[in-house]
Homo-oligomer: A and B are copies of this chain.
Amino acid sequence: MISDEEILKSKDVPGPTKEEIRCLVLCKARIKKNDYVVEVGCGTGAITIELAKKAGRIDAIDKNIKAINLTRKNLKKQGLLDRVNIIHGEATEVLKNLKNFDVMIVGGSGGKLQEILNIGSKKLTENGRIVITAILLETKVEAVHTLQNLGFKTEIIEVNISKGRILDRGTMMLANNPISIITGYLQ
Chain B residue numbers with a CB within 8 Å of A139 are 170
Cβ of B174 and Cβ of A174 under 8 Å apart? Answer: no
Task: Indicate the size class of the contact surface on chain A.
Answer: 35 or more
Chain A residues 151 to 165 lying within 8 A of chain B, measured CB to CB, are 154-164
**Which among A55-63, A90-98, A130-138 touches the partner chain?**
A130-138
Chain B residue numbers with a CB within 8 Å of A154 are 166
- Give Cα distance in the complex from A162 to B159, angstroms: 7
Tell me whether A30 is interfacial, beta carbon within 8 Å.
Answer: yes
**Which among A16-24, A33-41, A78-86 touches the partner chain?**
A16-24
* CB-contact partner of A169 in B136, B144, B158, B161, under 8 A: B136
Shortest C-beta distance, A91 to chain B (Å), equals 17
Chain B residue numbers with a CB within 8 Å of A155 are 163-164
Tell me whether A119 is interfacial, beta carbon within 8 Å.
Answer: no
Tell me whether A173 is interfacial, beta carbon within 8 Å.
Answer: yes
Which A residues are within 8 Å of any B CB, using their own CB? 1, 19-20, 23-24, 27, 30, 111, 135-141, 144, 148, 154-164, 166, 169-178
9 shortest interchain CB distances as A-B pairs = A136-B170, A156-B164, A175-B175, A23-B27, A160-B160, A138-B170, A137-B171, A1-B27, A158-B162
